[in-house]
Amino acid sequence: MEFEVWWLLAIPVIFGMGWAAARFDLRSLLSESSNLPRSYFRGLNFLLNEQPDKAIDAFIEVAKLDPETTELHFALGSLFRRRGETERAIRVHQNLLSRDDLPQADQEHALFELGHDFLKAGLLDRAEDTFGRLQTGSYAKAAQHSVLTIYQIEKEWQKALVAAEQIAEQDPSVSYQKEIAQFHCELAQEAMQRKDMPAVAGELDAALRANPANVRATLLRGDLLLAAGDAQGALRALRDIEQQNPIYLGLAAKRLMRAYEALGRAPEGVALLRDALFKNPSDDLLEIVYEKTLALEGAGAALALMRESMQRAPSAQGMTKLLEARAAAADGQTQADLQLMAKLVQQRTKSLPRYVCDQCGFRARLFYWQCPGCTGWETYTPRRADVAAST
């Protein structure tokens, strides 16, 4: 390979071009920095020194001088809201909305964020009013969903029902059938309190039309028929749960036994629930099956039941019942010892939750149709949740 003399000339030229480009970038950076208002740096300084109120004032001044800094305000507002400083978040977004030169898209964005500020602060009326101003635009759908959330928090079930139906009608890709059925169930329970039985029946029919798999409506219908003295009708209704979702039979166990006992068919009811217990173990089923087996068939049958149940699906609650059954079949000092053991186990397990939300993991001893943690509907399943065994 021959050496070319012009290569020696190319090297300093390339170096010089690189040096010039670096100088140009540095000058551009310094120029851009010098163009930023001093209020911007003051605001940063206040923020770093944990003086958020003064920082907000400084950034508001930046916004007046430079309209391009609106994104900074949105970021600050979101930060304050996440930290629970809702008053500061509200102030940031209200100051944005007070600007006459704010573009329409940014006005809608600021309104949406302000609505969430009010919602986080618990100012539900103001949040609803703010979201209601977003009838059109890119935030309209999200605002509708937020208003629906507010109605559920306020337990305004009729308003929630109308809002959910409107959302589903406007956007067929969104399904609120599960929620709509639950809203009808809430309205049915309100009608029960008023003793308006025709209204109860109408709401339950509407719930099952919206979601044929809604077990809650079937349970409420069973309650309605039992209260009316129609044990046969209640039994037919409650047996539908086997087709809807058999794991919910635990919630229907006491109702089913009431219907079977009213019809003089208690052994048939115990057999049905025992089979359900072995297929889908739950503490609700365990308690009622043990109680009825002990009453109808005696201590020996109850002990055999608990032994088989513990072999299939051991649990702390089941162990308590096993010890009780063993104590009932024993006598003398052995019985006293077993009763003491059962009492101790019961004390240890009485505070353990039975149900766990599939969505957020919220644990509770009571069954909820709407999770108190994440507000999701039908996220609890009434199957055994033995915390001691899983931790």
pLDDT of residue 56: 67
Of 126-135, 227-236, 248-257, 331-340, give the lowest mean pLDDT range.
331-340
Tell me the whole-structure pTM to 2 decimals. Answer: 0.76
pLDDT digits (tens, 9 = 90+) for 174-208: 788 999 999 999 999 999 999 999 999 999 999 99
Mean pLDDT of 311-320: 77
pLDDT, averaged across the chain: 81
185 marked ligand binding residue:
no
Of 1-10, 147-156, 262-271, 353-362, give the lowest mean pLDDT range.
1-10
Q: What is the CA radius of gyration of the chain?
A: 33
Residues 264 and 382: their CA atoms lie apart, in Å, by 28
Of 55-69, 80-94, 266-280, give the lowest mean pLDDT range.
55-69
Handedness of CA 272, 274, 279, 284 (dihedral sign): positive
pLDDT at 55 over 80: no
Percent of the chain with pLDDT over 90: 37
pLDDT digits (tens, 9 = 90+) for 141-175: 999 999 999 999 999 999 999 999 988 888 877 78
Between 164 and 343, residue with greater pLDDT:
164
pLDDT digits (tens, 9 = 90+) for 225-260: 999 999 999 999 999 998 999 889 889 999 999 999
371 marked ligand binding residue:
yes
- Do 236 and 217 touch, CB atoms closer than 8 A? no
DSSP 11: H
Residues 98 and 58: their CA atoms lie apart, in Å, by 16
Mean pLDDT of 361-387: 79
DSSP for 178-207, please give it.
HHHHHHHHHHHHHHHHTT-HHHHHHHHHHH
Most confident of 145-159, 286-300, 335-349, 363-377: 145-159
